[in-house]
Structure 1
């Protein structure tokens, strides 16, 4: 047993080291990908404009993709442990629909002129998305009458997501001029991420990672069943509420800065578990690193595929993540048929 535990520890360390190395390589690669290509990096020393492109646009954008992916990966690991469901994702409590509704309302209030859109994207959009996401989670908690019953919380999140999504669609139908402006948010984009957004996401990530790691033993207990967790003396109602707060804060912060990016929070914990079986304390950290690498790689690919234009990063993550999950389902179905 101890040999198996030691083997899993080594695999976890190797995976963490590999993900950190991949992050460093992708960070350097992200500095070279853009409309002006590698020339901006070569001319940094003698061209102030090239220096500005790399240090004020490409580098914060690439770092922001890493941080947003880390937040979504962390939230995905917490959600799957909290609901004891491998298909749970960070948007399960209605945060995605709430963020979309908040952005749609902001667009209606501030308009979509170039000046207004720029201001909304920099300040109002971020705040509206975050408030919408957190407000949706609070509404879910209100409908579920707290966090005592996981199934009720799950169903309340689905209901809130459907209702708020319908309200967003209604706003888009009534004000079709905001449709195009909403697309960049709903498809996900790191184009507006700057150093201020990176600082916000980094601070939130550190706080959420520490909180989730300190409560990881609760997720380990819940994995054994709710009755077993209670018999271990865990204060489930309080701990569940704290974990939901971590989930809402991590998801709301990522969505506010980069829009709705699908499958990263769902796929990252799956990829980690396919490599190593470990406790939730390590799973949360590894899923954060995996989500960061996934989103950073997808962002670089989105900028490179049809350069000098770019694809919405959320489209790539949806296609790649959906393809991975379909392959995973096919593999498990094949094994089941073989049994």
Structure 2
């Protein structure tokens, strides 16, 4: 049964990817395939990074509602970006090589996210509402600081900040894609090697100890990998709050399994189908100019409200 479902997921991803590359293609095929291929690679990479990070975060928090973005990571990204532009100025910021700027963002986001997630997960006895409220409060704090700093910068710096603050799936830089792909593949390889350990960590706080595992050490390792994946995706395209929640919710419904050897590949496939299929429908079929991030945020927000209301009624 699972093999059949994986077959349909792989087939669906192949079909939407082929349509994305070829539908309404005009002019030189070499240029079209190269141009669209970069966008396709960006969508697949972001889908894999965000979906994997979300599944891992839900594993160590033992909750299928929480995601890194909901816990305030996007607001943290905006704060770091605002501080960089405010400190450097719009001119020097724009002159920094893209790869260098990407690596700076990646390092700062990784360090800050490890500190943030460690703070949120320090008390494992915290209930869902306490963790959600903590993440929301921190997010409000970060956004308030961003708004305060925005009032101090000049209009040119504000314009640069606004253009960099929104998720942009249709812009792909080959150098950044290469660096991101290497980092995601390294993190993905480490995650795949510890997939059986993740099954043990998902059992809670007591049972892993009886099985000879160290939950705290495992959670810290997973936390580092989550930070790398989320930092790569956020630094590459910008913040997307509810993409991970949308993909993880679909994954748990499509793949009825607790094994991460099944859940993680399915989440990567569904993440790719969601982004590539969504971009295909909006850009090639409906010819809308609405950014894909807006649609994803809307659908993901609705899923979050449904899940939180169900959780509250049980």
Per the TM superposition, whether the score is higher than 0.5 is yes
Residue 167 of structure 1: CA displacement? 2.1
Equivalent residue, structure 1, for 2:233: 254
Equivalent residue, structure 1, for 2:247: 268
Map 1:80-119 → 2, pairs under 5 A: 80-91=58-69, 94-112=72-90, 117=94, 119=95
Secondary structure of 1:89's aligned partner: coil
Question: What is the root-mean-square deviation in Å for CA atoms of aligned residues?
Answer: 3.2
Structure 2 counterpart of 1:285, from 262, 265, 272: 265
Structure 2 counterpart of 1:190, from 159, 162, 169: 169
Equivalent residue, structure 2, for 1:38: 25
Map 1:1-339 → 2, pairs under 5 A: 10-11=1-2, 13-32=3-22, 37-39=24-26, 43-44=27-28, 51-55=30-34, 57-91=35-69, 94-112=72-90, 117=94, 119=95, 122-123=98-99, 125-140=101-116, 143=119, 149-150=123-124, 154=131, 160-175=138-153, 177=155, 178-278=157-257, 279-304=259-284, 307=287, 310-326=289-305
Give unpaired runs (5+ residues) of structure 1: 1-9, 46-50
Residue 116 of structure 1: CA displacement? 5.9
CA distance in 2, matches of 1:225, 1:201: 32
Which structure has more RCO (C-alpha within 8 Å, separation ≥ 6)?
A: 2
CA distance in 2, matches of 1:165, 1:324: 23
Question: Quick one: structure 1 residues 304 and 173, their matched pair in 2 at CA, closer, same or farther if it must change by over 3 Å?
Answer: farther
Give unpaired runs (5+ residues) of structure 2: none
Secondary structure of 1:226's aligned partner: coil
Query: Retained in 1: the 8 A contact 2:201–2:208?
Result: yes
CA distance in 2, matches of 1:22, 1:183: 35
Residue 293 of structure 1: CA displacement? 1.7
Query: Retained in 1: the 8 A contact 2:246–2:299?
Result: no
CA distance in 1, matches of 2:82, 2:282: 25
Q: Deviations over 1:271-321 (max 9, x none)?
A: 1111222112321221122112212223334434774x7333221111122
CA distance in 2, matches of 1:25, 1:184: 32
- Determine which structure has more spread, i.e. the larger CA radius of gyration: 1
Residue 148 of structure 1: CA displacement? 5.8
Residue 263 of structure 1: CA displacement? 1.6
